[in-house]
Amino acid sequence: MKLATIRTLDGATRAVRVDDEHLVDLGAPDLGAFLADPGWAERAAVAAGEVSHVRGAAYAPVVPRPGKVVCVGLNYRTHILEMGRDLPEYPTLFSKYADTLVGANDEIVKPPETTAFDWECELAVVIGAPVRRATGARAEAAIAGFAVLNDVTCRDWQFRTREWLQGKNWEATTPLGPYLVTPDELPGGVRPVLGISTRVDGETVQEDSTGDLLFDPVALVEYVSTMTTLRPGDVIATGTPGGVGHARTPPRYLEAGSTLTTEIEGLGRCENPVVDDLAAAEASS
């Protein structure tokens, strides 16, 4: 199944099932609320609510307000090597705030405080059941599905210190969408092997397979749930492959006017224009 959160004309949001050219209302305000029902999978499969057309749908972030967005750094072998690092023994974790998230076609807002605005295509894991210290089958069952994410990063802020938080949490910078796809529809299931890519203004700048992940989605659910309870709607961003702008010679970064396209085989794509933060410019004038 494909499940999403869309924006309605009155400014609200609704959880929907995406059936080819149609959207079926799931009777919940967003996908995070829908996944909180332990019977969400059965409800989604049989839903026959109000139907509308996919064409013209405004996709909100798949989960608009996740309780946690846990991100993994340095998790593709290619990216680890291009950044000049050794393969890690444990996942490198940091957090994002919900305020960073935008929908599949929303604007990405470039802050005036950065001159090193970089792309990072990622496979996002969406949690569908509460788990703590999950292993094996319990960790697998906790995965509701997968979506496309781009962890757009202010590199100059990221590397001000050894901690990355300040480079990763600028508002309206992180596309998450367009929809969640359940594992049963994907080759590899809860360990999907899918082509993943980034394009900037039509030029491919990242291209790899999620099969290159050092720590796969199940291993990440096991690891993260050891320290904290993962709850329905929480998101794990699994890391980016090689090809980021910061690792190029010379470095290359996103500018206002660029279009960032993030695509994963079977999961759709996010296509986001990059714009300047006009509110920040007005406040400083």
**42 plus 87 within the same structural domain:** no
**130 plus 262 within the same structural domain:** yes
The string of DSSP codes covering 142-171 is TEEEEEEEE--EEHHHHTTSS--HHHH--T
Q: Are 122 and 235 in contact (CB under 8 A)?
A: no
What is the domain-level CATH number for residue 166?
Answer: 3.90.850.10
Per-residue model confidence (pLDDT) at position 285: 55
- Maximum C-alpha span of the chain: 56
**1 plus 110 within the same structural domain:** no
**72 plus 43 within the same structural domain:** no
Per-residue model confidence (pLDDT) at position 68: 98
Contacts of 203 by beta carbon, 8 Å cutoff, 6+ apart: none
**183 plus 271 within the same structural domain:** yes
**81 plus 146 within the same structural domain:** yes
Per-residue model confidence (pLDDT) at position 281: 61
**8 plus 72 within the same structural domain:** no
Mean pLDDT split into 10-residue runs, the chain, 285 residues: 95 95 95 98 93 86 98 87 83 97 98 98 98 98 98 97 95 98 98 98 97 96 98 98 95 98 98 90 60
Domain final residue pick, 60, 87, 105: 60
Element containing residue 52 per DSSP (H, E): strand 51-53
Domain limits for position 46: 1-60
Q: Are 63 and 235 in contact (CB under 8 A)?
A: yes
**80 plus 23 within the same structural domain:** no
Q: Are 279 and 171 in contact (CB under 8 A)?
A: no
Per-residue model confidence (pLDDT) at position 192: 97
Per-residue model confidence (pLDDT) at position 70: 98
Residue (of 124, 144, 143) closest to 267 by Cα position? 124
In a 10 Å sphere around its CB, with 0-12 CB exposed, 13-18 middle and 19+ buried, how is residue 275 labelled? middle
Residue found under tokens 């590199």? 155
Per the structure, how many domains does the chain have? Answer: 2
- C-alpha 271/C-alpha 285 separation (Å) is 31
Per-residue model confidence (pLDDT) at position 89: 92
pTM: 0.95
